[in-house]
Structure 1
Amino acid sequence: MPLLGMPQGGEWLVILAIVLLLFGPAKLPGLVRQLGRSKKAWEEEMQPGTEQSANPLPAPQPTTQQPNSAPSTTQQLQSEPPTTTTS
């Protein structure tokens, strides 16, 4: 007879009573609902061959400069004529 193993019979009742005392009957439906959502998300992620698991991150969008926007600093520097000082 192993000392530690899976709970059986009356042990489940004791565990249920402890959970009820810790969380209270008002919070248990929300807790079970959240566990169900987590299980569903886990199962969806573990299914091979789904489109979402093949491409987990969306492709980055290329950044383009709009025609009405101000020129960048490098463009301003290139368009300004060089200044010379005479002494």
Structure 2
Amino acid sequence: MIRALVQDYGWIHRGLGLVGNLTFVIGSVLFLPSYSAWQVVAVWLFITGSALMFVGAAGEFAVRLYENGRHTGKGTRGRNASDD
């Protein structure tokens, strides 16, 4: 299951990171003095955006680890590709 998420759905990680960045920017704008009534929403957008950026970055890291293991032969649970 993890392999399928990493291999087949890598675009999700980029999408989550992008949405996280957007919510973080919107939260930043809501901290401007003219939007002071929206500061609680801004805090939650910061938290949500940060979490999404973290999940996106962790997913990208997992994709790169998986891809790196596939190219070096270390992703086969201790077996070399030549063992087959």
Give the TM-score, by structure 2 length: 0.35
Give the greater-gyration-radius structure (CA). 1
Give the TM-score, by structure 1 length: 0.34
